[in-house]
Amino acid sequence: MLDELIVSNLGVIRHARLCPGRGLVVITGETGAGKTLLLGALRLLTGSTARLDLVGPFGEEAVVEGRFVIGDREVAASRRMTSERSRAYLDGHVVSAAALAEATSGLTEIVAQHDQVILARPASLRRLLDRRLDGTGRKLREEFEEAWSELTTARARAEALGGDRTALERELDVVRHQASEIEQAGFTFGDDERLETEARRLRHAAELLEGLAEVRQVIEQAEEALAEAIGHTRRLARLDSTLGELAGYLEGAEAQAAEAAAAVRAHAEELDLDPERAEELERRLQLLGDLRRRYGPTLQDVLDFGVRAASRADELERLLTRADAIADELAAAERRVDQVGARLREARAAAAVRLVEDAVLHLRDLGFGDPILQIAVEEAEPAPTGADRPRLVFASDRRLEAGDVGRVASGGELSRLVLALRLAGGLADAPTVIFDEVDAGVGGATALAVGKKLAAVSETVDQVLVVTHLPQIAAFADRHYVVERDGNEATVRLVTGEARLGELTRMLAGLPDSGHGREAAAELLALAGR
């Protein structure tokens, strides 16, 4: 509920602080005193568009702050406006107006003139109807929730297939071909480098052989020179023994030259001038190039793609074996949702009759002589809450043409209609319900009935706030605030005891000190108390 409301420099209100408390809270005051500014402040806290022209003359900034208490949780909301911009805050942090609206959604419900409120929302009407369901209807609602859950699960399984059966089969053909093509190519990691190396050798085999022959000739010449040098060195070593080590070096070089010559011969013998082998290598390289163009820039990318394609083929084969069963499961879930949804729709239509019957009785007490009220429960596309769309049809009198409530009901009629439906349907959607001009066009005994019924609503929700001109309604309040204006400044004060009696006297007689008015006000308070 709204635990505290602080308003500063909003229009003619310099500063006001309200702690409404639980129960029925009324706000009264002369016409033009600024009562609707308090309602506007509450709208600002619920994310409504800020009117920058409402910044008052008592400063450069208008501030509205509110604290809502829901069980053990508190929500602090505020708006700050200058002549140029508006800012929203939630629990001390700057947020957008939309974020503020989302955070405070469900905390308050404002029923005011020209509002298209809950009565035009199928979801809200459906909640009213569900409060009037009988035992069978409540079981049907539970059964529908279960059926919808099964349908959601079946749809998720169907979506996991990735498409319909034909699409899956087409995809399976594609991935099978891809996996098979890569597998049959027979490439393994490193084949690309090996093939390129061998192909290069074969392309230049003649040039390589000619060059190796020249290398071999040079080595042979070197071997001859080394042999001659070794002979000279051995002869000299007879004269100088230290030259024996040099002869060993030369002999080692000769042995290495012999090894090099053998390696050159072996490499030359390995060179394959077979044109068929060269042609085979070129075919393999072309095949590898085709695969890389289709599946990845490197051979490793191609091989990885083949692994993924084979895995996807296995997955698709498993899915296809389940596809028929899933299709049957989905069809059965859809049939059950349709069947249970139709029965729930009938149960809600029956609840609508009961709700309307009770609401019409309340409407008559609230000043409607012979109203038309209908809730048509129309068939709709299945959704989590059912397969229906409730629509409210209303006329304040049977002689008038009935129509959608948002189109044919005036502000005062709308407020009283919501009040009647609240009493007939049960608890409100929000812990705080605010009525503005619920008393429009009523008086006398009807006004007393409105006050009594507002008090009854306040017993089913945390808090009911009412802006009213009627003492018959104000007399039922648990807390009574008065807005008073002196020149261009308005103040808000809580009245109790004699001060409250004086305000009711003013509302009744126009003069707060009227003796007869005071007697009538006291009588009214006693009547409301009873």
Q: What average pLDDT does the segment 17-24 reach? A: 94
**Which pLDDT score, from 0 to 100, does residue 117 have?**
55
* Confidence check: pLDDT of 365 > 80: yes
Residues 101, 82 contacting (CB under 8 angstroms):
no
**Which pLDDT score, from 0 to 100, does residue 428 have?**
56
| Residue 236 resides in a domain | yes
**Which pLDDT score, from 0 to 100, does residue 208 have?**
66
Q: What average pLDDT does the segment 240-256 reach? A: 85
The residue ranking higher by pLDDT, 444 or 15, is 15
| Residue 241 resides in a domain | yes
pLDDT grade for 210, boundaries at 50, 70 and 90: low
The secondary structure of residue 50, as a DSSP letter, is P
Phi, psi dihedrals of residue 383, rounded to the nearest 5°:
-145, 175
**Which pLDDT score, from 0 to 100, does residue 409 have?**
67
| Residue 7 resides in a domain | no
Question: Token pair for residue 108?
Answer: 């308050």
| Residue 448 resides in a domain | no
Question: Token pair for residue 516?
Answer: 């007869």
- State whether residue 464 is helix, strand or coil: strand
| Residue 367 resides in a domain | no
Q: Which residues of 156-190 are buried (b: 16+ CB within 10 A; e: fewer)?
A: ebbeebeeeeeebeebbeebbebbebbeebebeee
Q: Compute the mean pLDDT over every residue in the chain, rounded to the nearest whole number.
A: 86
**Across-strand partners of 78?**
65, 89
Strand 463-467 to 23-29 pairing: parallel
| Residue 271 resides in a domain | yes
Residue located via tokens 């290598």: 281
| Residue 172 resides in a domain | yes
- Name the nearest CA neighbour of 349 among 402, 395, 403, 389: 389
Query: Which range is least confidently modeled, 143-147, 200-204, 292-296?
Result: 200-204
Q: Counting beta carbons within 10 angstroms of the beta carbon of residue 289, is it exposed (0 to 12), middle (13 to 18) or buried (19 or more)?
A: exposed
Domain that holds residue 305: 166-315
In angstroms, the CA 77 to CA 94 distance is 10
Question: Token pair for residue 359?
Answer: 């609401």
Residue located via tokens 């702050």: 65
Q: For 440-485, how does the pLDDT look when each residue is reduced to its tens digit (9 = 90+)?
A: 767 788 888 888 888 888 888 889 999 988 999 999 999 999 999 9
Residue located via tokens 């279960």: 146
- State whether residue 385 is helix, strand or coil: coil
CA-based diameter of the chain, in Å? Answer: 158
| Rounded to 5°, angle at Cα 424 from 420 and 426 | 110
- State whether residue 21 is helix, strand or coil: coil
Number of domains in the chain: 1
| Residue 351 resides in a domain | no
Query: Which range is least confidently modeled, 1-5, 156-160, 436-440?
Result: 436-440
pLDDT grade for 247, boundaries at 50, 70 and 90: confident
| Rounded to 5°, angle at Cα 132 from 134 and 423 | 150
**Which pLDDT score, from 0 to 100, does residue 229 have?**
85
